[in-house]
Every structure is written in C-alpha cells, then in structure tokens.
Amino acid sequence: MKILLYIIGILIGYFMSAQTISGIVTDGKGNPVSGANVYIKNTLLGATTSNKGEFSFNVEKEKIPFYLLVESKGNGMESVRIENINEYIKIIVIKGGKEKKIEEVIVTGSLFKSGDSSNATAFSSSDIYTNPNALGDIIRAMENVPGVQFVPGDGRLYIRGGTSEESKIFIDGLLVLSPYTATRPNNAVRGRFSPDLFQGINLSTGGFSSEYGQAMSGALMLDSKKQNQYEDKSDISFTTVGAWGGFTKKRESDVFHITGNYTNLTLYNALFPDRNDWNRPYQQISSEIYYQRLIKNGVWKFFGSYANYNFSLNEKTPDYAIIRRDFSVEDIYTYITLNYDLGNRYKLYAGVNFGYSAQRIEGALIPWDAMKQEENLSHSKILIKKKMGGSIEFKVGGELLYKTYNQNYKTEKSVFHPYFTHVLSTGFSEFNWAITHKLGTSMGLRIDNSSLLKESAWSPRFSLNYNPNKKNQISAFLGTYFQSPDNDMLKYNRNLDFSYADNYILSYTYTAYNLFFKAETYYKKYHDLVTYSVNSLNNRFYESISNSGFGEAKGIDLFLKSGFTNFKYWISYSYIDTERKFLNYPIKIQPSFVAKHTASFIGKYWIQSCKTQVAISTNYSSGRPYTNPNLPGFNQNKIRDYWNTSLGIAYLPKENIVVYADLSNLLGVKQVLGYEYSSQSDDQGVYTKQKILPSADRVFFLGVFITISKNKKLNQLDKL
C-alpha cells in the first residue's frame, strides 16, 4: 500500500507541475505526416503523431528552452528550438521533390535499421541503447531483433540457424577482423566499438546487398556519424567495473573524437564474488580515435582503435582437476574512407582498412600447453554509384581481401605451426529501380575468387517490393550467399571449397500511428558445408575435412513496436526449424546453438517528475540440444529453457549527469548454459559430466555518467 501511495503521489506531482505542448507535423505540401516521432533532445519525453499529424505531451516549465526533434520515415530529422510551450507548434518536414525516390520503395531483404536511415526503420538510437540487457553494447542489443538467436554465455551474432562465423560486421562498408572483446569463461563477449561513433545501425538477417560478402547468414552494417551530428563535449564515466572518458571537438569543416576505457574486475569481484578461481581478474585497456574532414564535394574519414585484454584463472574440467589458463589478447583496427561527388549524379566511395589480432593462451586445451595465434586482414574497396532520373540507381565496385593466419601451438611432446595467406578478389554490381511509387526491384550480382581455394563463386540476388499504400509493404527476396571456410578449418586443410546458402524470404510490414509491425517467413538451403572427424587419440585435432555437409532452415519472425506518451515497448518472437550435417555431426540434426523458440520484451518508461527512466527487458529461449555420450544418439538431450529478466534505472540529478543502475536475472532463475563431458570414459564406460554455469547468477552494474559542454543539457542517456 505504501508503494502504491508513493506512485500515486509521484503521478499527482507530475501532472500538477507539467504543461502540455502540442502541435502538428506536415510535409512541404501541407499534408499531415503521421507516425512521426516527436521528442525532446536527450530525453525519451515525446509522442508520435496521429493520422492527422498532430502530437501533444506534457513537459515541465523548467526544461524551457529545449530542442524538439522530429523523425519520420523517408524525411530524415528536423530540429526546432522551443522557447514558448503555450504556442501551437507547426513543423514542416521536406520529403524531397516530385520524382519517385528509390529510398521510398526499395528495401533489400530482412533489414532492421536505426539512426537516420530512411527505410524499414525499426529502432531509434535510444531504442538501441536504453536496453537494460545490453548495457550500451550494440551487439547485445541486436539479440532483441527477431531472427537473431540468443546463445547464453556467448554474445556473438547467430542468425537464422547459422553459426556466428556466418554473420559479419562492417564499419563504413569495410569488414571488421575482430569485432568482439575477449571475455572471461561463460560470460558473453561484447562488441568492441563505442556506440558514440555511429548514426546508422543496420542489421540484415538475410537478403542483404551484393556489396557485402563472405557472410551466409547475416550482416551488421555500422555507419559512422555525419559531421553535423557531433557537438563539442567531454564525457566521463565511473562504474563498478572501471572508467571511461571521451572528448569531441567540432569545427566548421572537421571533427575530432577520442575515447579511452579502462576495465578492471578486481574490486567488483571482491564485492560480488563469482564462481571463477581468479589468479588475475579480467582487465581491459582500449582507445578509439576518429577524425572526419569535409572537402569540396566530399568527405574523408579516419578511424583507429586499440584494445588489450588479459586475465588468468584456474579451471576445473571433466578431464583435469585444475588447469591454469592465462589469456592475453591484443586487437588493432584502423581504416580510412572517402566519399566524393563526381558530378553528373555520379558518386565515388573508396576505403581501405587494416586489422590485427593476437591471442596468447597458456593452458589453452590441456595443462602446460601454450598457443599463440596472429591474424591480419586488409580490406580495400571501391564503389561507383550513379542515379538516373531519381527512379534508377546503379552501382558497381570491386574489393580485395588480404588475410594471413599464423598459429603456434606447443605441448610437452609436439609443435603444431600452421601458416597461410588468403587473398579474395571480388567484383559486384547492383541495379535498383523504383518502377512506380508503389513498386520497386533490386537485382545484384557478386563474384569472389579465392587464391587459397583456387576457385570462384558467384551470388545472384533479387528482391521485389510493393507498397499498396503508406502503411503496408510486401517484399520478396531470393538469392545465394557464400563464404570461404573458417581459419580453424583452413589450418588443417587448404583444399576446400566455398560453402553456400540459398535464401528465400517473404516479408510484410505495417506502419501506422504509433505502431510498427513486421512479419517474415524464410527458407534457407545449405550445401558444401565443412565436415570433419575428430582424432580419436586426443579428441582435439581434426581429420578427414571436406565440403560434404548440407542442411536447411525455415521459420517465421515477428516484431511489434508501439507505445504511448513516455512509454515505449517492443516484442519479438522467432520460430525456427533447422537441421544440419556439418562439423563433426554424424547425422543431419538440430545444431546445439539453436533454440526453436526465442522471444524478447523491452519496456521503457520515462517519469518526468523525478527525471528517471525505468526499463525492463526479458529474454526467453527454449532448450537447446546437446550430446550425452553416456546415451545412444547425437544431440539427443536438451538443456532447460532459458529466462533472463533485467532491470535498468537511469536517474538525472542534473541535465548533464546520469546515474545508472542495472541488475540482470532479476527473478533469480538458476541458469544452466550447457554440459561438458570427459573425452575418455572411466573403467565402467561412463563419461564424467559437468554443468556449464554462468560466472554469477546475477550481475549488478552501477555507473555515473557526466557530460561537460557549452550546452548544459547534453548527457549520455542515449548510450544506456
């Protein structure tokens, strides 16, 4: 009863101190714009326009003056300074000309976008970062997208029955060598890159452009911010696991941005002990530098990052009582890109990157072994785009991927030292045609040639999109995707072929006042997957590696996003039926990383009276299969269903300060991530079993985030 009276008191105080701001959003012709998001900058306070283009919501007098932002599909973003909320506000957004726009009717495949992207917008930037389960990590936020498998204790992208290696991450069009952080055992990895960098976060769960390759299942495409999206500021944060700082300087023609991060779990583990036997708790040092310069008719960008991770712990396994494991990982990534307007509606893109990743592990597989592994990747790309008459767009380009792999694995009795160089040369083209205002098509072709595999592969892709009206869209896609074998296979056998996945997708999207709904069904057929057998002497090294694998996946994905004043929510559900014969699988069967049913819910409520945001997220996945060697069969058992509910609370004591607290597994569910067995049976023929548990049943996070700027109202709320 006391809690209920407290909540009622807060609501009464809020409505007594608030005033209503109202207005209308129209296009350049005076027509109302429905479904536009109208909100106050750096808050979640706002509303969505009605079918008549009207909006209204409550705001405190103390917030005046403020900037009102308007985001609508196909119209980009408008910003309006508000100094008097008693006036009826009229906002005009420009749709851009009378000719048919490709962006209005072409949506390639299964695309979920955020930021200022104009098509199929499913998430705003706040939607991405205010997820309590993600804690500001783009990769983990993607787990709430239908079609993405949530694999507990992993954290990488698994899309529609594919392994994590089948989904790739691109920044400004270039492939990232090592997109994930290192992590301690049975804890999910995180994305390496700061959300501050990106204006567009585009996840394709199938049917993506021929511009992107070496990915059979999905692509996460991150686009860096434009120059006008930066503001002069300094950010600093102190949390239960470390500290982070950032500085941004914007001038008329360029932007400089630098960040630094230090993570050390020593104090956290002392306050909240976990299941690990640490010799040296997890530590991370990382930094990012970004520079963007406007030139006549174009812009060039430079980015560089460095990260070092290290930790040491003792682990018990079914084969060994104790293994001491020492980890050290170093990652370097840098790129430079140029976007240039050649005139006559021609545009040029050129970019090159370099990635280096080095891992050093003692106790990698067995006691007293040592492994050092180094990978290098350079991706060069050039693209020319031509628009013709507004309704036709054609692009053609080429790429060169240069990769090296060097591993040195030592035991007391042997040395294993694989090394190889792999060069992939690529040509691609794409033709987009807005046939009418309602009908559009896209056709693409990609061809890769591998110096290591000594073969070429080609990939045709086709999509058709129909918009019967402003609210509905129907899309169909078919195409072939391929990729070369992983390094873990190529280090044993270079005489392999590309693996392929044929994709067929049918999608329906409904967009209306304060509502976004998407339903999609798909079918994927795999062939030439890599298979192998395991060396019976030590169960560690692979033999008989070939491209004899195959499989299929089919399913349905559902997504709903809606809300009302100060409250937003979205729900996703995925069903998948998939079987594969690949890796060391003796039969075609459901993979161990796939759950047939996955679902998630996220709800966020902004309480203006106490300047607090409350967010809750729930993730569910049905039991995944695993093999019990003490029973006949393969992948014949299932682990228990997985539930995780997280709560996040953000409080703004001042406009530029955010205090954030987050608690995972709010309900205290006892999670089991899987089971592992000894490689050899005992004298009774029984294999020893051991549960794989998370490091801790719950994870608590507390942080203070401070922004220093001339605009006293800037804060880091959108990153949490």
φ, ψ for residue 717, nearest 5 deg: -60, -35
The pLDDT value given to residue 85: 62
Please determine, for residue 105, whether its predicted confidence score (pLDDT) is greater than 60: no
**230 and 309 together in one domain:** yes
Q: Are residues 262 and 360 in the same domain?
A: yes
- Rounded distance, CA 556 to CA 570, Å? 17
176 & 80 share domain: no
**Model pLDDT, residue 108:** 44
Q: Are strands 233-239 and 242-250 parallel, antiparallel or unpaired?
A: antiparallel
DSSP state of 454: T
Q: Is 6 a domain residue?
A: yes
CA atoms within 13 A of residue 466's CA, in its CB half-sphere: 7
Measured between alpha carbons, how far is 108 from 432 in angstroms, rounded to an integer?
10
Q: What is the helix (H) or strand (E) element at residue 575, kind and residue range?
A: strand 567-581
Tokens (6 digits) for 624: 């995944």
Which tokens belong to 611? 């300047």
The residues with which 347 forms a beta bridge, in sequence order, are 341, 385
Lookup result for tokens 């309602």: 438
508, 389: one domain? yes
Q: Is residue 475 part of a domain?
A: no
CA distances from 7 to 2, 3, 10, 607, 610 (A): 9, 6, 5, 11, 11
Determine the Cα–Cα distance for residues 77 and 118; give it in Å rounded to an integer: 10
CB 484 within 8 Å of CB 250: no
196 pLDDT above the threshold of 90: no
Residues 6+ apart with CB under 8 A from 597: 573, 574, 575, 620, 621, 622
- Length of the chain, in residues: 720
Q: Which domain holds residue 7?
A: 2-97
Confidence band for 219, pLDDT divided at 50, 70 and 90 = very high
Which of these three, 43, 78, 97, is where a domain ends? 97
Q: What pLDDT is attached to residue 87?
A: 63
Is the domain of 112 the same as that of 145? yes
Q: Which residue has the higher pLDDT, 543 or 686?
A: 686
**Statement: residue 609 has pLDDT above 80:** yes
Tell me the C-alpha distance between 152 and 647, whole Å.
18
* pLDDT single digits (tens) 313-341: 999 889 888 899 999 999 999 999 999 99
CA gap 493, 713 in Å, rounded? 58
Q: 627 and 502, same structural domain?
A: yes
C-alpha–C-alpha distance, residues 28 and 93, integer Å: 6
Q: Quick check: 381 and 401 in contact, CB under 8 A?
A: no
Two tokens at 379? 């991706």
CB 630 within 8 A of CB 687: yes
- Residue 352 clears pLDDT 60, i.e. is over it: yes
Q: What is the pLDDT of residues 133-183, one digit of tens each?
A: 777 788 888 888 899 988 888 889 999 999 999 999 999 999 999 898 877
| Tens-place pLDDT, residues 167-177 | 999 999 999 99
Q: How confident is the model at residue 3 (pLDDT cuts 50, 70, 90)?
A: very low
Question: What is d(CA 434, CA 260) in angstroms, rounded to the nearest whole number?
Answer: 45
User: Residue 228 sits in a domain of what CATH number?
Assistant: 2.40.170.20
Domain membership flag for residue 18: yes
| pLDDT at 304 > cutoff 70 | yes
Asked if residue 456 is part of any domain, the answer here is no
| Predicted confidence band of residue 615 (pLDDT cuts 50, 70, 90) | very high
pLDDT tier at 466, thresholds 50, 70, 90? very high
Q: Give mean pLDDT, residues 281-287.
A: 94
**The two structure tokens encoding residue 388:** 């013709």
In a domain, 498, yes or no: yes
* Whether residues 627 and 660 fall in one domain: yes
Check: CB of residue 257 under 8 Å from CB of residue 240.
Answer: no
Residue 572 lies in a domain: yes
Strands 111-112 and 277-295, by their bridges, are: unpaired
Q: Where are the beta strands (DSSP E) in 344-471?
A: 346-362, 370-388, 392-410, 415-416, 419-434, 439-450, 455-466
Tally the domains of the chain.
2
Sign, Cα dihedral of 510, 516, 521, 524: positive
- Tokens of residue 576, six digits: 């998948």
Q: Could you read off the pLDDT of 381-415 as tens digits, one per residue?
A: 999 999 887 689 999 999 999 999 999 999 888 89
Cβ neighbourhood burial of 193 (10 Å; 0-12, 13-18, 19+) = buried
Are 376 and 492 in the same domain? yes
**What does 64-130 look like in DSSP terms, one character per residue?**
-SEEEEEEETTTEEEEEEES-TTSPEEEEE----SSPPHHHH---SSEEB-BT--SSB---HHHHH-
**Looking at the domain assignment, is residue 113 inside a domain?**
yes
Convert the pLDDT of each residue in 553-608 to its tens digit.
999 999 998 887 788 898 999 999 999 999 999 999 999 999 999 999 999 998 98
Same domain assignment for residues 215 and 266? yes
Distances (CA, A) of 159 to 346, 446, 524: 35, 21, 12
Q: Are 609 and 19 in contact (CB under 8 A)?
A: no
pLDDT at 718: 56
Which 3 state secondary structure label does DSSP give 221?
strand
Mean pLDDT of the chain: 85
277: number of Cβ within 10 Å: 11
Q: Looking at residue 436, what is its pLDDT?
A: 87
What pLDDT does residue 14 have? 41
Residues 386-424: b if buried by 16+ CB within 10 A, e if exposed: ebeeebebebebebebbbebbbebbbeeeeeebeeebeb
**Has residue 468 got a pLDDT over 60?**
yes
Please say if the pLDDT value at position 650 is more than 80: yes
Residues 6 or more apart whose CB falls under 8 angstroms from that of 155 comprise 139, 140, 180, 183, 187, 188, 189, 190
pLDDT at 308 over 90: yes
Show the tokens assigned to 583.
């890796």
Q: Which of 78, 97, 116 is the last residue of a domain?
A: 97
Confidence of residue 669 (pLDDT cuts 50, 70, 90): very high
Q: Identify the pLDDT of residue 134.
A: 75
Question: Hey, which residues does 415 pair with through a beta bridge?
Answer: 410
Q: Say yes or no: 66 and 117 in one domain.
A: no
State phi, psi for 374 to the nearest 5 degrees: -125, 135
Residues 589 and 687 in one domain: yes
Which of 56, 77, 97 represents a domain boundary (last residue)? 97
Q: Which range, of 285-294, 537-546, 600-609, 612-621, averages the lowest pLDDT?
A: 537-546
**Half-sphere exposure of residue 702: CA atoms within 13 angstroms, side-chain side:** 5
- C-alpha to C-alpha distance for 603 and 617, rounded to whole angstroms: 7
Give one DSSP letter per residue of 511-530, joined into a string: EETTEEEEEEEEEEEEEEEE
DSSP string for residues in 288-317:
EEEEEEEETTEEEEEEEEEEEEEEEEEE--
Which string of DSSP letters, residue by residue, matches 667-684?
T------EEEE-SS--TT
Tell me which residue of 580, 586, 572, 647 sits closest to 615, measured CA to CA.
Answer: 647
pLDDT of residue 129 exceeding 80, the answer is: no
Helix (H) or strand (E) holding 574, with range, is strand 567-581
Tell me whether residue 294 is in a domain. yes
Q: Let me know whether 587 and 618 are in one domain.
A: yes
Contact yes or no for 437/100 (Cβ under 8 A)? yes
Residue 348 to residue 173: CA distance in whole angstroms: 13
Q: How far apart are CA 653 and CA 656, in angstroms?
A: 8
Summarize the confidence of residues 664-683 as an average pLDDT.
90
Cα separation of 127 and 156, whole Å? 20
135-149, 274-288, 350-364, 592-606: range with lowest mean pLDDT: 135-149
- Residue 27 CA to residue 282 CA, distance in Å, equals 53
Query: What is the per-residue pLDDT for 500?
Result: 97
Alpha-carbon distance of 636 to 616, in angstroms, equals: 35
Please give the pLDDT value at position 418.
93
Residue 152 confidence (pLDDT): 84
3 state DSSP class of 591: coil
Distance CA 674, CA 689 (A): 11
Domain at 84, CATH number: 2.60.40.1120
- Averaged over 505-523, what is the pLDDT? 91
